[in-house]
Structure 1
Amino acid sequence: MALKITVIGTGYLGATHAAAMAELGFEVLGLDVVPEKIDMLTRGEVPMYEPGLEDLLRRHVSGFEGSSGRLRFTMDFAEAGEFGDVHFVCVNTPQKHGEYGCDMSYVDAAFSSLAPHLKEGALVVGKSTVPVGSADRLTGLLPQHAELAWNPEFLREGFAVNDTLHPDRIVVGVNSDRAEELLREVYAKPLAEGTPFIVTDYPTAELVKTSANSFLATKISFINAMAEVCEAGGGDVAKLAEAIGYDERIGHKFLRAGIGFGGGCLPKDIRAFMARAGELGADQALTFLREIDSINMRRRGAMVEMAREALGGGAFLGKRVAVLGATFKPDSDDVRDSPALNVAGQIHLQGGQVTVYDPKGMDNARRVFPTLGYADSALDAVRGADIVLHLTEWREFRELDPAELAKVATSPVLLDGRNALDSSLWRAAGWTYRAMGRPSA
C-alpha cells in the first residue's frame, strides 16, 4: 500500500514540502492551526512569494483543471493522525524574545497535539531546525507504537521548489532500519536521480543544518571583514574575492561583500547554536560566531555612514534617499531581519526622507515600517533623490537604465550595497558610483 503523508505546519517550509510530496506522487494532508492559512492553501494560494510554488500547489489541490487532487488541508490533528503513515513536522522555531536561544514551543505543541492520534507504526519526521538534543527529548512525547526520525531541511528562499524536488543531499537521523527504509521510500525519486542519502544518529542530523548555516555565515562575514580592511587600506574587495576564489579550497560562492545576511534562518540559527553550545558546556567552541554576528550587524551601520559621507557628512534631515530593495534577498518577499530594510529604517529615524521600492516585498515592508515612503517602481523611488542605495540584488535592478534614472534624480549618486551592479554602465550615464569595500575602484 502506498504511503500517505501529512505535513504539520504549512508556512514557508511546510507548504513547499507538502506540494513537493504530492508532486512525488503521494497522497498528502497538510495541517495548520491558522484558519486563514488553510483557507488560502485550499484556494491554491500561498501566503508568501516563492517562485514556482503556487503553480506546484495548484497542480495537486482539488478544484483546478488538471489537478491530481492528491493534496488537501485540515486543522484536525485526529484526522491527520488517522490519515498519515509518515508525519513531517515543519513548524517554526524562532529566536526567543530577548534571548539567543531557540523557541521550541511550536514544535512541542505540534508533537503533543499529534501524539494521541498516531496509528501503530507511524513515523514522525522532524524537519524544523532545532537545538541538538531535541530529538531525544521529543521521543518522550510520542507513544511507544510510533517512531521518530530527524530530516533537516536545506531550502534556499527563491529556490525552494527545486531544492525539495531535487535536493543536493538528504540527511536522516534514525533509530531503526525501518525508519530508514520508510524515508528511502519517501525520497525514492530523488535517490534515483543520484541524490546522496546520509544516515546518521539524531544529534548529528540536528547539527547538520546549524553547522551548514554557521559555515555559510562565516564565509559571508569573512569577506565583509576583508571589505572593512579594504576600506581602511585602499584595497578593492571585489578583486580580492576574485583572486582568492580561484583557490579550489575556497571557491567563489558567497564571497561578494555587501551589507550582510539576514532573513528568518541564518541570524537566528547561529545565535541559537551559540546558546545551545553554552548549555552543553561547549560555549568556547562557538565563540567565533559572536564575531561573525557582530561583523554582519556592523555592515548595516557602515552603509548608513557611507550614505552620510556621500551626502556631505552632515545630518540626513531633509535629504531624499531612494532605497532599491526591501527583502533580505532577491526572489523572495521575506523582510525578516532584512539588512536593506534595517538601513532604510535607520536613515529614516535620523531624519532622512526615505522612499523604498522592491519588486515583491512592498506589502511586508509596509507592515514592518509603515512610516517609510514607498514607490510603485524604481523610477518613482529615484525621482527627486539626493542619493540612491542599492540594497537587494534583484535582477530588475541590474537591468535598470542608469541614464533614464539620472534624468529624474536630483543628484546622481549611487551606493551599491551588494557589489552587484555594473559600475562602468552607471558611471558612463553620469552617476557617481561607490561600492562597499572598494574605496579606490
Structure 2
Amino acid sequence: MKISVIGTGYLGATHAAAMAELGHQVLGMDTDTHKVEALNKGQAPFVERGLDDLLAKHTTARTLRFTASYAEAAEFADVHFLGIGTPQQAGSGAYDLTHLQAAVRRLAPQLRDHALIVGKSTVPVGTTAQLRQILTEHARPGSNIHLAWSPEFLRESLAVEDTLRPDRIVLGIENGDTTSEAVFRAVYAEILGAGSPLIVTSLSTAELIKGAANAFLATKISFINAMAELCELTGADVQQLALGLGYDQRIGFQGMRPGLGFGGGCLPKDLLGFTHRAEELGADQAVSFLRQVDAINRRRRERTVELAREMLGGTVVGKRIAVWGAAFKPGTDDIRDSPALAVAGALHRIGAEVTVHDPAALENARRACPSLDYADDPVSAVTGAALLLHLTDWPQYAETDPAEVRQHIAAPRVIDARSALDTDRWRRAGWTFRALGCP
C-alpha cells in the first residue's frame, strides 16, 4: 500500500520506517527541511535503537523517502498517519494541539477524493471531533475522508520493537465505519497475523486509552517511590519491598522499580494532559489522586538533592559533584524533562560545581544547560569530585569497575538514584554508598 506519515519526530520517523519494513511504499512528510534531508540519507536526527538501520535499508531500496510538501504527500497516498507532536501548553497542563490542527487544515484540501487519516498522536478526548470539523470545512466538496485514531504505545529506545511487535493495537473508528477497519487491517496484516491483538473501539475510547495507560504507569512508579520515602524513614529496604510486591500476580514487577522517577516527553506531559482534560470535563475529584502522583515524582528529585547535601556535610557550595547521566532514560539522547538534568541543574544553582557525562545526550544537554560542565567519559567526570551521582541507568555505568573509578575521585561517595549499581560490589571497593529508599 502507499502510505504517508505526517510529522517525523520520534513517533513519525519510527512509524514510517516500520511501515516500509512491513512492505508498504512510504512517504514521510515534515516541514523541517533539515530533518527531511537527514532522513533521506538514512539518518535519524535523534538516537533510537535500530532506527538508523531501518532508515538506511529502506531509503536505499526507495521504498521509503521523505518530503516537505503536503501536496506531494496528499497525492502519493490514500492512507495518511498523523505523527504530529502535541506538546504541553506553556503555563498549563493542557495539550497544545495547534500543530496537529494546522497539519490537518493544510492536508485536507489536497487529499484525494477517497482517503483515510489515522491519528497516532497523543491527544485529549474530544480531539477527533474537532479534527472532523476541520476536515468538513477544508476538504474538497464531495470527497469521502475517513478519520480513525490509533494511539501509539512506544517506549523510547524500544520504539522500533514496539511498532513492529506491539503487545496490542488500538483502533478507534466512527460508528459503523467498516471501511476504515478493513483498510487498517490490510496495513497491519503482517503484525496481526503474528498474533498482536487488535482492539476496535469508538474514537473517544481510543483517545482515552493512551492517557489512561500512561496515568496508570505513572501511578505505579510513584507508588513504589512513595514507599521508598517510607522506607527511608524506617530503615527498611524498598528494593526488597518491591520484590515482595512484584511476585503478587495482581501487581507484577513491571514499573515497580524504585528510583529517581519518570521523565521524558511523554509520561509527565500525558499525566498532566489527562488530568487537565478530566478536570475540564468535571471529573476533577475522580482524578485528584493523579496530582499527587506527579508531586511524588517531582519529590524524588528534591530528595536526591537533599541526600547529596547530607553526604557532603550539609552544604554543596564549592563542592565538585560528578553526574552520570543526562538523558531521561538509557538508550536515547532525549533530555525532555530529564530527572538527571533537573537534579544536576538544582545542585548547580545552590553552589555546586557539576560535571555531567552521558553516552548519547551530551550535545543536547550542553545546548539545554550550558552552565554545567561536561566530560566525554565517565572517569573524567569523576576526577577530583567529592561525590558521584548515578542518575541515568545506562548499562555501561553498572559495568564500570568501582575500584578503578575510586582511584580518580577525591572522596569515594556515591548516590545510586536508579537502583542499578551493585551495592555490595561498590561498598567492597571502599565506597560510601546510598540509594533512594535503602538503608
Residue 114 in structure 1 maps to residue 114 in structure 2:
no
- Secondary structure of 2:105's aligned partner: helix
Per the alignment, residue 187 of structure 2 pairs with 186
Aligned-partner SS, 1:376: coil
Gaps of 5+ in 2: none
Paired position in structure 2 for 1:211: 212
Deviations 1:379-429 (A, max 9, x none): 000111100000001000010010000001100001000111100110111
Q: Which amino acid in structure 1 is aligned with residue 157 of structure 2? A: G
Partner of 1:164: 163
Paired residues, number: 431
> What is the one-letter code of the residue matched to 2:73?
A
Shift of residue 145, structure 1, vs aligned partner: 1.4
* Deviation readout 1:222-265 (Å, 9 max, x if unpaired): 00000001111111101100011110000112111111100000
Q: How well do the aligned residues superpose, as a CA RMSD in angstroms?
A: 0.7
What do residues 110-154 of structure 1 show as CA deviations (whole Å, max 9, x unaligned)?
100100011122000000000001112211112351110000001
> Given residue 330 of structure 1, which amino acid in structure 2 is its aligned partner?
P
With the length of structure 2 as denominator, give the TM-score of the two structures: 0.97
Where does residue 91 of structure 1 map in the other structure?
Answer: 84
* Post-superposition offset of 1:437: 0.4
Measured against aligned partners, the alpha-carbon deviations of 1:44-75 in whole angstroms (never above 9, x if no partner) come to: 111100011001000011xxxxx321111111
Instruction: Look up the match of 1:373.
Output: 373
SS at match of 2:134: coil
Partner Cα distance (2:162, 2:275) in 1: 27
Partner Cα distance (1:145, 1:197) in 2: 25
Describe how 1:204-243 pairs up with structure 2 within 5 A: 204-243=205-244
* 2:44 alignment partner in structure 1: 46
> 1:321-400 to 2 correspondence within 5 Å?
321-400=321-400
Deviations 1:255-310 (Å, cap 9, x if unpaired)? 11111100000001111111111111112111111000000000000000000000
What corresponds to 1:294 in structure 2? 295
Question: Alignment partner of 1:198: what SS?
Answer: strand
The equivalent of 2:425 in structure 1 is 425
Q: Distance in 2 between matches of 1:367 and 1:374?
A: 11
Q: Which amino acid aligns with 2:402?
A: P
What residue identity is the alignment partner of 2:134?
L
- DSSP-derived class of the 2:212 partner: helix
Match of 1:250 in 2: 251
Task: State percent identity of aligned pairs.
Answer: 57
Residue 4 of structure 1 aligns with which residue?
Answer: 2
1:321-342 C-alpha deviation (Å, 9 max, x unpaired): 0000001100010000000000
Residue 24 in structure 1 maps to residue 25 in structure 2: no
State the SS of the aligned residue for 2:144: coil
Q: Which letter does structure 1 place at the counterpart of 2:116?
A: L
Name the CA distance, whole Å, in 1 between partners of 2:261 and 2:284.
24
Partner of 2:154: 155
Q: 2:255 aligns to what SS in structure 1?
A: coil
State the partner residue of 2:66. 73
2:13: which partner in 1?
15
Per-residue deviation, 1:41: 0.6
Match of 1:264 in 2: 265
SS of equivalent residue, structure 2 residue 162:
helix
Counterpart CA distance in 2 for 1:342 and 1:280 is 32
CA distance in 2, matches of 1:23, 1:69: 12
Asked if 1:60 corresponds to 2:53, the answer is: no
Q: TM-score, normalised by structure 1?
A: 0.97
- Stretches of structure 1 that go unaligned for 5 or more consecutive residues are 62-66
SS of 2:388's equivalent in the other structure is strand
Corresponding residue of 1:82: 75
- Deviation string 1:57-104 (CA, Å, 9 cap, x unpaired) is 00011xxxxx32111111111111111110000010000001110000
Distance in 1 between residues matched to 2:42 and 2:289, nearest whole Å: 44
Over 4 Å off, 4+ runs: none
Local SS of the residue matching 2:90 = coil
Amino acid across the alignment from 1:332: T
Task: Output the CA distance in 2 between the equivalents of 1:129 and 1:380.
Answer: 40
Q: Look up the match of 1:406.
A: 406
Distance 2:190 2:113 in 1: 26
Distance 1:243 1:166 in 2: 30
- The residue identity in structure 1 corresponding to 2:210 is K
- Please give the alpha-carbon distance, in whole angstroms, between the structure 1 residues aligned to 2:429 and 2:83: 48
